[in-house]
Amino acid sequence: MLCEKIEGRLDEIEVSGKTIEYVDIEWHEAFKKIHRKKTDAGREIGIRLGDSILTRGLYEGDVLYKDDDLIIAVHTPACEIIKITIDPNHAFMVAKTCYEIGNRHAPLFYGEDAYSFITPYNEPMLQMLQKLHGVTVKKEIETLNFDKRISATVHHHQH
């Protein structure tokens, strides 16, 4: 089965009486145009999307296929993240923190307030952030919310 467009979102379409299968799309795969995957029911699918996916990405609940009986939707599994909290008394460190994360071309997401951010975990990033004055970091497991992304795109450079 080949899926070539996003048919909508699970919360926008009628799903009663239909089988819903989910395909896992990891956060780092969300901005790729071509995938070969299996749904949670074992169905093999190919995903071939247009260039717009490079900036939009695939979101939790995106519908890749639908007919009278079946819906195939995206599931974004939880991953290791770094939860960053900046002491309000050190508000100037917001710019420094965001700069350092951006300088490493890592995706950045808004946290719960103006002093908190989230980035996918890697050990060098965690160690670097731990050295910043007024910045507290915790490694956790969480699903990234692409609606809260700050980075324009979440993909790697290709040269």
Give per-residue pLDDT as tens, 63-95. Answer: 999 999 999 999 999 999 999 999 999 999 999
Q: How far apart are the C-alpha atoms of 110 and 112, rounded to whole Å?
A: 7
- What confidence score (pLDDT) does residue 154 get? 54
Asked if the model's pLDDT at residue 57 lies above 90, the reply is: no
Give per-residue pLDDT as tens, 111-132. Answer: 999 999 999 999 999 999 999 9
Asked if the model's pLDDT at residue 157 lies above 50, the reply is: no
Confidence of residue 158 (pLDDT cuts 50, 70, 90): very low
136-156 per-residue burial string, b: 16 or more CB within 10 A, e: under 16:
ebeeeeeebebeebeeeebbe
- pTM (predicted TM-score): 0.80
- What confidence score (pLDDT) does residue 54 get? 85
DSSP string of the chain? -EE-S--EEGGGS--TT-EEEEEE--GGGTT-SEEEEEBTT--EEEEE--TTHHHH---TTEEEEE-SSEEEEEE---EEEEEEEE-GGGTTHHHHHHHHHHHTT---EE-SSTTEEEEE--HHHHHHHHTSTTEEEEEEEE---GGGB-SS--S----
